[in-house]
Amino acid sequence: MLMLVDCSSCRTPLQLTPGNRFITCAICHAITRVADLSFYALPSLAPSHYNQSLCSVNGRKRAVICGISYKNTRGVPKLEGCINDAKCMKHLLIKKFMFPESSILMLTEEETDSCRIPTKHNIRMAMFWLVQGCQPGDSLVFYYSGHGSRKRNYTNDEIDEYDETLCPSDVESNGVIVDDEINATMVKPLPYGVRLHAIIDACCSGTVLDLPFLCRMERNGRYAWVDHSPPSGVFKGTNGGEVISFSGCDDDQFSAETHNQSKAIATGRMTSSFIKAIESGHGTTYGDLLTSIRTIIYKDEILDGDGNRQEPQLTANEPFDINRKQFFL
């Protein structure tokens, strides 16, 4: 039986192996002692009231979609297009990739269920839900459209000395979700035969899953995988599964919003380009898709004339031939 406890130091939810009374946090490395195991014994990774509000899983496809406008968040710039992004991505997964609607968990401020508001706690629980009980053959998708940021890292596990983060709707009171936690929650436990794709439309998001390999591509299409493993030697890979992430920009760049031709509807530039590339038939290989996304964004940047330069990134737990490997969700 799986158990969920909070780290005694940073309050990160941790999976406790049955029978153990101690657990080391992958984020702050504090050791938490559990005195009464029966108190934490749960039928799943999340509290029962949260599980009941989540969608059931049909088939072998499952997705978490987060879109955050920050309309009720003080001190944080509002975003016009993120909820539109979430709805567009849900439509794409259902119509193009045959994800059952009941296997997609939507987190936006428009949801009436309090467990589906994209707070820090709810996003954490959704990440746990996404990988919970996955089996060989499963296809998982984690999509996020919202603010991203960076913070100084002091544990020697970042090449650039910064952690990349996601900003939940309650970021002003509960803080960010750090890439170390995202990796520990969705990447490290992923078993053999399971595929996880992440699509992140946020600033500073290039390596926000903390995956060990980063694909550097030139404009002429030539590319090379760069070993992005942390200097500390901490393992950032999977338990045999496959994780591939598309992000809206490099770690030191901003991911912008754009508008449709009538200027009436705002969307994230990354999300809009990702969907356009697939719908126009450029999603055959990962290389084809990445090149098409970058081309569309480059054209949008010229048309919008906002001076922003963003280059979508591709990261993975293992390097592969992006021009041969077929893209599918």
Q: Is residue 203 among the annotated active site residues?
A: yes
Catalytic option among 25, 88, 147, 215: 147
Smallest Cα–Cα separation from 142: which of 191, 93, 81, 98? 93
From 115, 134, 203, 215, the catalytic residue: 203
For 231, the enclosing helix (H) or strand (E) is none
* 249 catalytically annotated: no
Judging by DSSP bridges, how do beta strands 3-6 and 13-16 pair with one another?
antiparallel
> 3-class secondary structure for 31-69?
EEECCCHHHHECCCCCCHHHHHHCCCCCCCEEEEEEECC
For residues 121 and 12, what is the distance between their CA atoms, to the nearest angstrom? 9
Instruction: State both tokens at 260.
Output: 């449709």
Contact 315, 215 (CB under 8 A): yes
Burial (CB < 10 A; 0-12, 13-18, 19+), residue 28, is: middle
What is the Cα–Cα distance from 130 to 146, expressed in whole angstroms? Answer: 19
Tokens of residue 113, six digits: 């269920």
The answer for 240, left when phi > 0, alpha when psi is -120 to 50, beta otherwise, is: left
Give me the active site residues, please. 147, 203
